[in-house]
């Protein structure tokens, strides 16, 4: 039995919106799982149901062997870091962190020790007497984490905690969250819409779309073998190219381009996916295209081009000399492509 | 240079406003320090006289009223008890009413709120007969409870607190829930400290409102022992300098309250801006 088990969880809001649909998931003790998906996909709802902040319409959640559907959030022993931190504005940093402990009837001395230890760990021990309004965004973030850590809960829940920080701080906090989670070994669930965060943080990633889990797997599995067209498009930056095509006897027809897939598939309406960095550009490539636009990114550049009327992009080293308007030759290797059936979006 | 000119003009306008407010009060104060005879013969005075201590101590300690049963000092005490009672109870009832309406799943909460709000259209003066009958049946005529209770719930204060609670992000409650708070401790540990400034503002409003009550205490009290300052202003003191001295003293309690709560009061009024 897993540490946290979700069984056929469904959430229907009173107005009839189905936010989460028949979701089942097992999470092991100590694991760092990331829920990722576009906004409004139900990932936050799922997290809030685990926290106990939303009722569960259907299904069962069990934590550490106990069903927690009807257990009050305060008794679930979960801690949550909110997107806007939700610090208590009238309490000092110390009291923000100590409040949950006080409610558990822990002795003053122990609270003191715990808060001080965690404050040192997060390097906020100089700020303990300040009010949240006197802190910077990054410091507030640390206090919010400290408030969660100090309680030593069974599970950490993070609800897009980095989205209010600037890019530099976000990377820094991301690393720190990862380091802390490793160090403490507490099971964590992190919700984000940012696929980079998902890829870098998670031991496992759960890709959610329209209230349905599209794929669960390690970052590597999800990147290299996306189960559905949605996952293929959502994970990876720049986005995977998807060409609408017809496949006859294992040969994909994209406009007047032919790609031999080395199988015997026959699909009328398919999508052929290839990551921009998997397109091999060489002088003796089979296919020829014109670069419509070139984006220079420093070490890399991205070339936008078209096959027939379908746009695609390729990513290559900026050492290659290629300008907008130039023609270039490339190959698409059949070992690097992903094939999806357009009728149901699933991988072939 | 233009900054200097505009600041001068601003101060000039403000000074005029200040004079309009202060001069009448000053004239009353200056006149109250002369003997009645002097004012009756010479009119209102702008400069201080030498009867200050005589007049004020006489007014404070003289037995007065129709039956000479009460001193001004006792009236101040009565007014203070009444105003403090009304202000305190209004704050408590409206804090709790707003808490119930905003944070609990009350059916028809909005409807109930508007019902409360509509009572603004029914001031005490309009319901004075039924209120009197209720109080007299409860044997509360000639008691402080009778003076205070019918005015101890305020729709406007409930409205202020409700709007303020609505502006508090839900996540605060959710974070507190995960930290193990219950409905009572959320009220005590969060809502009350967060609405501190607003409590001060409402307290001042309701204190002044209670202090200024005239008709209700007039009807509710038959014993002079329960007379309030405002009733005293109307009914007592024949000599003109005594009246002026009483007027000046009657202003002091609200002013003291405002001075002490001024900072919180201003923050409270501008809380939502």
pLDDT 10s digits, A251-283: 888 888 888 888 888 888 999 999 999 999 888
With a threshold of 0.90, does the pTM exceed it?
no
Task: Report the alpha-carbon distance of residue A186 to residue A222 in Å, rounded.
Answer: 24
Average pLDDT, chain A: 91
- From B114's Cα to the closest Cα of chain A, the distance in A is 24
The string of DSSP letters for A112-162 reads HHHHHHHHHHTT-TTSTTS-GGGS-HHHHHHHHHHHHHTT--SEEEEESTT
CATH fold of A4-233: Rossmann fold (3.40.50)
- From B155's Cα to the closest Cα of chain A, the distance in A is 27
State how far Cα B68 lies from the chain centre: 27
pLDDT of residue B272: 46
Q: Which helix (H) or strand (E) holds A287?
A: strand A287-290
DSSP bridge partners of A157? A80, A189
Cβ-in-10-Å burial (0-12, 13-18, 19+) of A42 comes to buried
Q: Are residues A68 and A53 in contact, defined by beta-carbon separation less than 8 angstroms?
A: no
pLDDT of residue A8: 92
SS3 A343: coil
pLDDT tens for each residue of A311-325: 999 998 888 888 888
pLDDT tens for each residue of B91-132: 999 999 999 999 998 888 889 999 998 988 888 888 889 999
pLDDT of residue B53: 87
Planar angle of CA A180, A182, A185, nearest 5 degrees: 100
Task: Report the alpha-carbon distance of residue B232 to residue A74 in Å, rounded.
Answer: 57
* CB atoms A53 and B177 under 8 Å: yes
State how far Cα A48 lies from the chain centre: 16
Task: Report the alpha-carbon distance of residue B211 to residue B192 in Å, rounded.
Answer: 25
Model confidence band, residue A178 (pLDDT cutoffs 50, 70, 90): very high
* CB atoms B181 and A79 under 8 Å: no
State how far Cα B113 lies from the chain centre: 24
The string of DSSP letters for chain B reads -HHHHHHHHHHHHHHHHHHHHHHHHHHHHHHHTS-HHHHHHH-S-SS--S-HHHHHHHHHHS-BTTTT-B-HHHHHHHHHHHHHHHHHHHHHHHHHHHHHHHHS--TTHHHHHHHHHHGGGS-TTTTHHHHHHHHHHTT-TTSHHHHHGGG---HHHHHHHHHHHHHS-HHHHHHHHHTT--HHHHIIIIIHHHTHHHHHHHHHHHHHHHHT--HHHHHH--SGGG--HHHHHHH---SHHHHHHHHHHHHHHHHHHHHHHHHHHHHHHTTT-
Residues of chain A positioned with their CB less than 8 A from the CB of B193? 90
Evaluated on CA atoms A70, A73, A77, A83, the torsion sign reads positive
Task: Report the alpha-carbon distance of residue B25 to residue B169 in Å, rounded.
Answer: 46
Residues of chain A with CATH 2.40.50.140: 238-341
Q: Are residues B86 and B151 in contact, defined by beta-carbon separation less than 8 angstroms?
A: yes
pLDDT tens for each residue of B28-40: 999 989 888 888 8
pLDDT of residue B236: 64
Q: Are residues B106 and B100 in contact, defined by beta-carbon separation less than 8 angstroms?
A: yes
Backbone angles phi, psi at B10, to 5 degrees: -55, -50
Polymer length of chain A = 348
SS3 A59: strand
Closest by CA position to A188, among listed A219, A222, A145, A217:
A145
The pair of structure tokens assigned to A197 is 């965060």
pLDDT of residue B237: 59
Closest Cβ opposite residue A73 in set B178, B185, B196: B178
Residues 163-182 of B with CB under 8 A from A: 169, 171-172, 174-182
Backbone angles phi, psi at B156, to 5 degrees: -70, -35
Q: What is the mean pLDDT of residues A110-129?
A: 93
pLDDT of residue A218: 95
> Residue A117 contacts by C-beta under 8 Å, 6 or more apart in sequence?
none
Q: Are residues A227 and A214 in contact, defined by beta-carbon separation less than 8 angstroms?
A: yes
pLDDT of residue A321: 85
Q: Which helix (H) or strand (E) holds A220?
A: helix A219-224
The four Cα atoms A210, A212, A214, A215 give a dihedral, to 10 degrees, of: 140
CB-CB neighbours of B206 under 10 Å: 25
Backbone angles phi, psi at B177, to 5 degrees: -60, -45
Residue of B nearest to A150 (CA): B179
Closest Cβ opposite residue A88 in set B182, B185, B190: B190
CATH code, B70-269: 1.10.3720.10
Backbone angles phi, psi at A303, to 5 degrees: -110, 130
Domain layout of chain B by residue ranges: 1-62, 70-269
- From A145's Cα to the closest Cα of chain B, the distance in A is 12
Closest by CA position to B134, among listed A269, B124, A54, B211:
B124
Task: Report the alpha-carbon distance of residue A78 to residue A50 in Å, rounded.
Answer: 9
What separation in angstroms does the CA of A120 have from each of A179, A215, B207, B257? 15, 38, 48, 45
A79 touches chain B (CB under 8 A): yes
Residues of chain B positioned with their CB less than 8 A from the CB of A51? 174, 178
Evaluated on CA atoms B216, B222, B226, B232, the torsion sign reads positive
> Residue A207 contacts by C-beta under 8 Å, 6 or more apart in sequence?
A36, A37, A213, A214, A215, A216, A222, A230, A231, A234, A235
Task: Report the alpha-carbon distance of residue A162 to residue A182 in Å, rounded.
Answer: 18
Residue with tokens 């300690």: B61
Q: Is the pLDDT of residue A84 over 70?
A: yes
Phi-psi region at A321: left, alpha or beta (left = phi > 0; alpha = psi -120 to 50): beta
Closest by CA position to A146, among listed A169, A172, A115:
A115
One digit per residue, pLDDT tens: chain B, 273 residues? 778 899 999 999 999 999 999 999 999 999 989 888 888 888 888 888 888 888 888 888 877 766 677 888 888 999 999 999 999 999 999 999 999 999 998 888 889 999 998 988 888 888 889 999 999 999 999 999 999 998 888 899 999 999 999 999 999 999 999 998 999 999 999 999 999 888 988 999 999 999 999 989 988 888 888 888 888 887 765 678 888 888 898 898 889 888 888 888 777 766 543
DSSP bridge partners of A327? A290
Task: Report the alpha-carbon distance of residue B126 to residue B122 in Å, rounded.
Answer: 6
Closest by CA position to A279, among listed A303, A254, A309:
A303
Q: Which of A221-225, A329-333, B65-69, B128-132 has the lowest mean pLDDT?
A: B65-69
Q: Which helix (H) or strand (E) holds A267?
A: strand A267-274
What separation in angstroms does the CA of A282 have from each of A153, A293, A306, A328? 54, 18, 17, 8
SS3 A214: strand
Spell out the CATH class of A238-341.
mainly beta
Closest Cβ opposite residue A86 in set B174, B189, B194: B174
Mutate to test the interface with B, among A48, A80, A115, A131 (most CBs of B within 10 A): A80
Give the up-direction half-sphere exposure of residue A137: CA atoms within 13 A in the CB hemisphere: 14
Q: Are residues A236 and A338 in contact, defined by beta-carbon separation less than 8 angstroms?
A: no
* CB atoms A74 and B171 under 8 Å: no
pLDDT of residue B271: 55
Q: Which residue has the higher pLDDT, A209 or B2?
A: A209
Residues of chain A with CATH 3.40.50.300: 4-233
pLDDT of residue A92: 94
Closest Cβ opposite residue B171 in set A73, A84, A147: A84
Average pLDDT, chain B: 88
């Amino acid at each position: 039995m897993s540490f946290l088990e979700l069984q056929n969880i469904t959430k229907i809001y009173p107005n009839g919106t189905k936010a989460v649909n028949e979701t089942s998931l097992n999470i092991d003790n100590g694991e760092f799982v990331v829920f990722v998906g576009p906004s409004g996909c139900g990932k936050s709802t799922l997290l809030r149901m685990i926290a106990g902040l939303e009722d569960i319409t259907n299904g069962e959640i069990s934590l550490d062997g106990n069903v927690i559907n009807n257990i009050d959030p305060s008794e679930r022993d979960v801690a949550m870091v909110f997107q806007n931190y939700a610090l208590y504005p009238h309490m000092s940093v110390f009291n923000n962190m100590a409040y949950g402990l006080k409610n558990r009837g822990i002795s003053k001395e122990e609270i003191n020790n715990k808060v001080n230890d965690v404050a040192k760990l997060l390097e906020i021990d100089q700020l303990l007497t300040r009010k949240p309004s006197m802190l910077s965004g990054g410091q507030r973030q640390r206090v919010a984490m400290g408030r969660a850590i100090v309680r030593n809960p069974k599970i950490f829940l993070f609800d897009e905690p980095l989205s209010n920080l600037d890019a530099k701080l976000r990377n820094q906090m991301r690393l720190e969250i990862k380091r802390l989670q490793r160090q403490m070994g507490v099971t964590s669930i992190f919700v984000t819409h940012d696929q980079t965060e998902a890829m870098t943080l998670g031991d496992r990633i759960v890709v959610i779309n329209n209230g349905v889990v599209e794929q669960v797997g390690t970052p590597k599995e999800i990147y290299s073998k996306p189960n559905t067209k949605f996952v293929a498009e959502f994970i990876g930056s720049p986005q995977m190219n998807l060409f609408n095509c017809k496949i006859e006897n294992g040969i994909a027809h994209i406009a007047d381009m032919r790609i031999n897939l080395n199988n015997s598939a026959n699909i009328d309406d398919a999508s052929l996916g290839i990551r921009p960095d998997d397109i091999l550009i060489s002088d003796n490539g089979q296919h020829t295209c014109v670069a419509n636009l070139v984006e220079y990114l420093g070490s890399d550049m991205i070339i936008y081009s078209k096959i027939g009327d379908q746009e695609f992009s390729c990513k290559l080293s900026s050492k290659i000399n290629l300008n907008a308007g130039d023609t270039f030759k490339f190959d698409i290797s059949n070992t690097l492509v992903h094939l999806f059936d357009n009728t149901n979006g699933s991988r072939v | 240079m233009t900054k200097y000119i505009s600041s001068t003009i601003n101060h000039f306008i403000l000074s005029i406003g200040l004079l309009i407010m202060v001069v009448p009060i000053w004239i009353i104060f200056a006149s109250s320090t002369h003997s009645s005879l002097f004012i009756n013969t010479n009119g209102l005075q702008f400069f201080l006289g030498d009867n200050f201590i005589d007049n004020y101590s006489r007014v404070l300690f003289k037995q007065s009223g129709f039956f000479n049963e009460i001193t001004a000092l006792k009236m101040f005490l009565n007014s203070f008890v009444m105003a403090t009672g009304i202000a305190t109870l209004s704050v408590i009832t409206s804090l709790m009413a707003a808490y119930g309406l905003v944070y609990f799943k009350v059916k028809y909460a909005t409807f109930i709120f508007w019902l409360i709000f509509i009572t603004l259209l029914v001031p005490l003066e309009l319901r004075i007969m039924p209120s009197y009958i209720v109080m007299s049946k409860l044997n509360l005529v000639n008691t402080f409870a009778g003076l205070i209770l019918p005015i101890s719930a305020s729709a406007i204060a409930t409205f202020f607190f409700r709007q303020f609670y609505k502006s508090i992000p839900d996540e605060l409650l959710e974070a507190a829930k995960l930290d193990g708070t219950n409905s009572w401790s959320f009220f005590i540990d969060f809502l009350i400290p967060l609405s501190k400034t607003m409590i001060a503002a409402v307290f001042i409003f309701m204190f002044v409102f209670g202090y200024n009550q005239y008709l209700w205490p007039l009807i509710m009290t038959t014993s002079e022992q329960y007379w309030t300052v405002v009733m005293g202003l109307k009914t007592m003191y024949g000599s003109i300098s005594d009246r002026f001295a009483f007027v000046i003293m009657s202003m002091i309690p609200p002013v003291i309250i405002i001075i002490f709560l001024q900072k919180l009061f201003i923050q409270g009024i501008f809380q939502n801006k």
